Chain A
Amino acid sequence: KNQVEQSPQSLIILEGKNCTLQCNYTVSPFSNLRWYKQDTGRGPVSLTIMTFSENTKSNGRYTATLDADTKQSSLHITASQLSDSASYICVVRGQAGTALIFGKGTTLSVSS
């Protein structure tokens, strides 16, 4: 069964610290993997999209990595800010044009 598992479920860090969120998937064949940021009560917003041939992609302080062989991805947040407090959702697309498969998200809380 195609699944996307994220860890940890929640995370609390101090402002200014770095953190890494994990995403493991069993989707096959694989087309692309996305990371979304969802602020409380708002719709998800795309951070990065990576195809199987891409290993790393950055968007400001967010850096996503992908290992298509081990079916693992990570999202690294550098020098966290209070505004990074949100849910981060990993989403995988199997074959091109098929439905997206969503992870349940990691809730990140950044405290001062």
Chain B
Amino acid sequence: EAQVTQNPRYLITVTGKKLTVTCSQNMNHEYMSWYRQDPGLGLRQIYYSMNVEVTDKGDVPEGYKVSRKEKRNFPLILESPSPNQTSLYFCASSLSWREDPDTQYFGPGTRLTVL
């Protein structure tokens, strides 16, 4: 089944404790992206990747890191999480940033709470 998976789905952590949220897709998509969703603000892009080893900042990249060492995986790293990073996070992928219009597939979401 074609899908985007994220792990963990739920995470409660404390300020300053490094964490990684994994994202994987099995559709051979080139383009992958991370979003956070907060009440009243909608979805905001954190980072995106157009292909392996190619990443770029979105609208709200501060406090986050990403890597794209292989096509299927795009982990989101919080080196020193803070309470304002408490949010619902979504990973998404699409075939290619060149294809337009392209359908973007979203993962199930990761609910992160930073105490």
Residue positions of A touching B, CB distance < 8 A: 31-32, 34, 41-46, 49-51, 89, 93, 96-97, 99-100, 102-105
Q: Contact check, B98 vs A100: say whether CB atoms are below 8 A apart.
A: no
Nearest Cβ on chain A to B93's Cβ, whole angstroms: 11
Q: Contact check, A44 vs B106: say whether CB atoms are below 8 A apart.
A: yes
Q: Contact check, A100 vs B45: say whether CB atoms are below 8 A apart.
A: yes
Q: How many residues of chain B have a CB within 8 Å of chain A?
A: 24
Q: Contact check, B101 vs A32: say whether CB atoms are below 8 A apart.
A: yes
Q: A43-B107, A43-B109, A45-B106 are in contact. Are A99 and B100 (CB under 8 A)?
A: no
Task: Please report the C-alpha to C-alpha distance between residue A93 and residue B40 in the assembled complex, in whole angstroms.
Answer: 21
Q: Contact check, B100 vs A97: say whether CB atoms are below 8 A apart.
A: yes
Q: Contact check, A93 vs B101: say whether CB atoms are below 8 A apart.
A: yes
Q: Contact check, A99 vs B58: say whether CB atoms are below 8 A apart.
A: yes
Q: Contact check, B106 vs A96: say whether CB atoms are below 8 A apart.
A: no
Closest to B100 in A: A96
Please indicate the chain B residues that have their CB under 8 angstroms from the CB of A96 in the complex.
98, 100
Closest to A43 in B: B106
Q: Contact check, A99 vs B45: say whether CB atoms are below 8 A apart.
A: yes
Task: Please report the C-alpha to C-alpha distance between residue A89 and residue B90 in the assembled complex, in whole angstroms.
Answer: 14
Q: Contact check, B45 vs A31: say whether CB atoms are below 8 A apart.
A: no
